[in-house]
Amino acid sequence: MKYISQFLLLGLAVIVLLGLQYQYWFGENGHLERKQLSAEIEKQQQRNDSQSFANELLKTDVFDLKNGLEAVEEHARLDLGLIKANETFVQLSTAATAEPYKN
């Protein structure tokens, strides 16, 4: 009888231990879920960093447009194709030239 109660107590302790291990590894907010969330946080942090860089570029562009004429002139030339008086517009093709097939 003494050994049976010790065996049951040991069995209960093992079951509790296994239950706690299951909760730790697979349960809600467990180890595996935490690893997945950490990976998602890392990806989002990288996206945020790249967006921060793009935002800084836009801020400097807006500042230049508000405060200087050079940025306005550059945008007019690149986006609208405008030229100044007494300037000659030259457009170079960047397409590769292909020779016709010869027999």
pLDDT tens digits for range 27-82: 778 888 888 999 999 999 999 999 999 999 999 888 887 887 887 788 788 888 78
Residue 64, class by beta-carbon neighbours within 10 Å (0-12 exposed, 13-18 middle, 19+ buried)? middle
Residues 6+ apart with CB under 8 A from 25: 31, 32
Q: What predicted TM-score, i.e. pTM, was given to this entire model?
A: 0.44
Domain chopping of the chain, boundaries: 2-80
